Amino acid sequence: MIKTRYWLTLLLLAAILAGCASFSASSQAQDAGRLVIYSGRSESLVAPIIEQFSQASGIKVEVRYGNTSELAATLLEEGKNSPADVFYAQDPGGLGAVANAGLLAELPNETLDKVESRFRSAQGLWVGISGRARVVVYNTQLLKAEDLPADLFGFTEPRWKGKIGWAPTNASFQAMVTAMRQMWGEEKTRQWLVGILANQPVVYDGNTAVVAAVGSGEIEVGFVNHYYLYRFLREQGNSFPARNHFMNNGGPDSLVMVSGIGRLATSKNEENALKFINFLLSPVAQQYFAGQTYEYPLVAGVQTEADLPPLESLNSAGITVDQLADLEGTLNLLRETGVLP
């Protein structure tokens, strides 16, 4: 009896010590210094490229992974005392909030100029790194590409009743609705929302779930971002019965959203931060996004994956990311129409 207790205690102590050791600040600060990243992009997506940066530059990088909006809220709470150097966000909403609170520092022009003006903040407070396009994912066993309507508004027709899936809580969806409000106007957007609702769409809490559901046949079409499909294809093979359909009509339905990065004004590692941002905009990193995560590289001259339509053909002329960052109106509309609780 006593033996078990001792053994147990020892084990627990060992585990605790090991755990403490694994994170305690190792005082081997390399010459090149350090960098603290708050990343709303998940570890599985960006850890490899960050690791590459760390190896190449010799900078010791510490990353805090989390949900973009939660990290944004954290930054807002931390205020001037934030230990973060850069904020790498999954979508512009979080960046916008942080920027509006005056927490981001202006980026140098040479960095900003690497991407088109529509993919960076107008005040130069943050820059887009990679892009994702809105698509309609459809089940290949039940539909052919020709069966799909020419634009999103077509999905309000009765024949689509019970066959649509969407994730209205998702940031990209809300960005798309914001774009709709800008390009179609408030009224038409409202009609679209109401029309889709009339078709009793199945509600999911994320893009992943929508794609999974389309693949299993639970629904026939879904409104998602393009790159999720590739995860499924990779894990389950090409026989996964779903494919992306790009609307390609220059409207809000083929919106491109970017993940972006900004430097904290209170950062003590300005040089390292800029190095990192520039690294992400370098061909090496951009190729990584194209090849590994199936996103759109935003820097000119980098190849996309074979079957993605070129970036230029998509979008929504005139929509800037800053405009997309304004969510309040969208949220009100979504609540009024009952799409969101």
Partner 1 sequence: MYLPAALVALAMSLPLLYLVVRASAAGRSAWNWLLRAQTLQIMGQSVGLALAVMLAALILGVLLAWLVSRTDLPGRSIWSALLPLPLVIPSYVGAYLFVSFFAPRGLLQNLLEGWLGIERLPSVYGFWGAWLVLTLMTYPYIFLAARAVFSRGDRSQEEAARSLGCSPLETFWRVTLPQLRPALAASSLLVGLYVLRDFGAVSILRFTTFTRAIYLQYQSSIDRSAAALLSLVLILVTVGFLIAEQRIRRSAAENPHTAVHPAEVIRLGGWQVAALGVVFLILLFGLIFPTGVLFYWLIRGLLAGERIANWLGPLLGSVSSAGLAAMVTVVFAFPVSVLSVRRSNWLSQILERWSYIGYAVPGIVVALALVFFGANFVPGLYQTLFMLLFAYVILFLPQAMGSIQSSLRMVQRSLEEAAASLGENPLRVFQRVTLPLITPGVASAAAVVFLTTMKELPATLLLAPTGFSTLATQVWGAVSEAYFARAAAPALILILASSISMFLINHHATLSGSSQRQ
Helix, strand or coil, per DSSP, at residue 222:
strand
Say which amino acid occupies 61.
Answer: V
| Closest listed residue to residue 83, CA positions, set 34, 128, 132 | 34
Among 104, 112, 164, 171, binds partner 1 (CB under 8 A): 171
Among 116, 205, 270, 271, binds partner 1 (CB under 8 A): 205
Should residue 93 be labelled a site residue for partner 1 when binding is judged by CB under 8 A?
A: yes
Should residue 319 be labelled a site residue for partner 1 when binding is judged by CB under 8 A?
A: no
Return the residue matching tokens 């026989």.
Answer: 239
Residues 6+ away with beta carbon under 8 Å from 185: none
Among 31, 77, 110, 146, binds partner 1 (CB under 8 A): 77
Among 52, 199, 208, 337, binds partner 1 (CB under 8 A): 208
| Closest listed residue to residue 127, CA positions, set 315, 278, 331 | 278
- Residue closer to partner 1 (CB basis): 93 or 260: 93
Should residue 157 be labelled a site residue for partner 1 when binding is judged by CB under 8 A?
A: no
In order of 3, 176, 263, the CA distances from 275 in angstroms are: 55, 32, 11
Should residue 303 be labelled a site residue for partner 1 when binding is judged by CB under 8 A?
A: no
Should residue 331 be labelled a site residue for partner 1 when binding is judged by CB under 8 A?
A: yes
Beta bridge partners of 243: 138
Distance of closest approach, residue 313 Cβ to partner 1, in angstroms? 26
130 burial type by CB count under 10 A (0-12 exposed, 13-18 middle, 19+ buried): buried
- Residue closer to partner 1 (CB basis): 32 or 340: 340
Rounded CA separation 334/189 (Å): 10
Distance of closest approach, residue 327 Cβ to partner 1, in angstroms? 6
Return the residue matching tokens 């929504």.
Answer: 316
Stretch that binds partner 1, among 110-118, 206-214, 249-257, 315-323 (CB under 8 A): 206-214
Should residue 94 be labelled a site residue for partner 1 when binding is judged by CB under 8 A?
A: yes
Strand ranges (DSSP E) for the chain? 34-39, 60-65, 86-89, 104-105, 126-139, 164-166, 202-203, 221-225, 242-245, 256-264, 296-297
Residues 2 to 41 in contact with partner 1, rule: CB under 8 A: 4-5, 8, 12, 15-20, 22-23, 36
Among 49, 127, 143, 213, binds partner 1 (CB under 8 A): 213
Among 235, 306, 310, 317, binds partner 1 (CB under 8 A): 235
Stretch that binds partner 1, among 154-162, 179-187, 231-239, 267-275 (CB under 8 A): 231-239
